Amino acid sequence: MDVTLVEGVRRFNRTVTQRIGALDDAFLSRDRPLGQARLLWEIGADGCEVRELRSRLELDSGYLSRMLRGLETAGLVVVDTGGADARVRTARLTAAGLAERAELDRRADALAASILQPLNAGQRDRLVAAMAEVERLLVASMVDVAVVDERHPDAAHCIESYFAELTQRFGFDPARTIPADLTAYLVATLHGEPVGGAGLKLVDAGVGEVKRMWVSASVRGLGLGRRLLAEVEAAARGRGVRVVRLETNRTLVEAIALYLAAGYREVGAFNDEPYAHHWFEKVLEA
């Protein structure tokens, strides 16, 4: 890894993360413990199930329970057993809790404004643009890619989403396509949620196919498609594959652009997939 890049990230972490982070926490905790303030914020205007809070904030159930009791005695929150399942309890903000949260909101705005205030208009625009770029790329970097079995729930979710999108885009019918029979599926997750995937099917000796590649709309533009393609190629190479093939529908123009940019070249049909218009192939480098 290039040393100057690493040094750049470290400088950023030192200056930005610590200084702005400390500011952020200081404003959030107005005479209330930071944990409770965060919790108040996270519950939100519409309330939130306790178990949802637990998983989102990654808190010990005892600890969370105690904090909720604290907010409850402060009159900011009520916890009731609302839904069908009487074990699950839901935390809701009272009027006072909503007011408190609105105050936090105002203070977060004020903090952001105070950062922008000393800058001139051009600097403000540049700062916000650079912040958005950093955020986007850090999110991209937080995406995890792992190899799972085709039947893994995350893989199933990706494949279903893939079918759903094709159905919506060009009237695809899952029953008519060639069954995939995948050797492996790569799942990309963000904060534990599957946001993309790509399947590898070993066909003949040294030949693999990329199938069921999908990227969630929520993470488009982060280069995830390119990354998945590269990782599936790496997985194929690790299994002795020399040539990777794939086919696609003509309406999927972004996918076609991706394949061409990744070094695939169009070849004649190598299968009779009813929905395919283009067939591609790439010889992997040793």
Interaction partner, residue 62 (its own copies, DNA, none; CB < 5-8 Å by kind):
DNA
Structure tokens at 231: 């990782």
Q: Closest separation between CB of residue 24 and its own copies, Å?
A: 5
Q: Closest separation between CB of residue 59 and DNA, Å?
A: 7
What whole-number distance in Å separates Cα of residue 135 and Cα of residue 126?
14
**Residue 33 contacts its own copies per CB under 8 A:** no
**Residue 192 contacts its own copies per CB under 8 A:** no
User: x/- contact string, 18-57, with DNA (CB under 7 A)?
Assistant: --------------xxxxx------------xxx--x---
Q: Number of helices (H) and strands (E), helices first, in the chain?
A: 10, 10
Q: Is 18 or 61 the residue whose CB approaches its own copies more closely?
A: 18
The CA–CA distances, whole Å, from 263 to 230, 243, 259, 260 equal 11, 12, 7, 5
Q: Are 163 and 172 in contact (CB under 8 A)?
A: yes
What whole-number distance in Å separates Cα of residue 213 and Cα of residue 162?
7
Of 115-123, 154-162, 170-178, 212-220, the segment contacting its own copies by CB under 8 A is 115-123
Alpha helices in the chain (DSSP H): 3-12, 19-28, 34-43, 50-57, 61-73, 95-116, 121-142, 153-170, 224-238, 253-261
Q: Closest separation between CB of residue 13 and its own copies, Å?
A: 5
Q: Is 38 or 245 the residue whose CB approaches its own copies more closely?
A: 38
Near DNA by CB under 7 A: residue from 11, 30, 56, 69: 69
Helix, strand, coil % in the chain, rounded to nearest 5: 50, 20, 30
What whole-number distance in Å separates Cα of residue 245 and Cα of residue 207?
8
Structure tokens at 217: 């709309």
CA 239 to chain CA centroid, nearest Å: 28
Of 12-20, 193-201, 203-211, 240-248, the segment contacting its own copies by CB under 8 A is 12-20
Near its own copies by CB under 8 A: residue from 45, 130, 164, 261: 130
Structure tokens at 26: 């200081």
Binding positions for its own copies, 73-112, rule CB under 8 A = 108-109, 111-112
**Residue 132 contacts its own copies per CB under 8 A:** yes
What whole-number distance in Å separates Cα of residue 286 and Cα of residue 274?
33
Of 66-74, 103-111, 244-252, 254-262, the segment contacting DNA by CB under 7 A is 66-74
For 78, the 3-state DSSP assignment is: strand
Near DNA by CB under 7 A: residue from 1, 3, 5, 62: 62
**Residue 85 contacts DNA per CB under 7 A:** yes
Near DNA by CB under 7 A: residue from 1, 86, 113, 121: 86
> Which stretches of the chain bind DNA, using CB under 7 A?
32-36, 49-51, 54, 59-66, 68-69, 79, 84-89
Instruction: Give the residues lining the site for its own copies (CB under 8 A).
Output: 1-2, 4-13, 15-21, 24, 108-109, 111-113, 115-120, 123-128, 130-135, 137-143, 145, 223, 226-227, 230
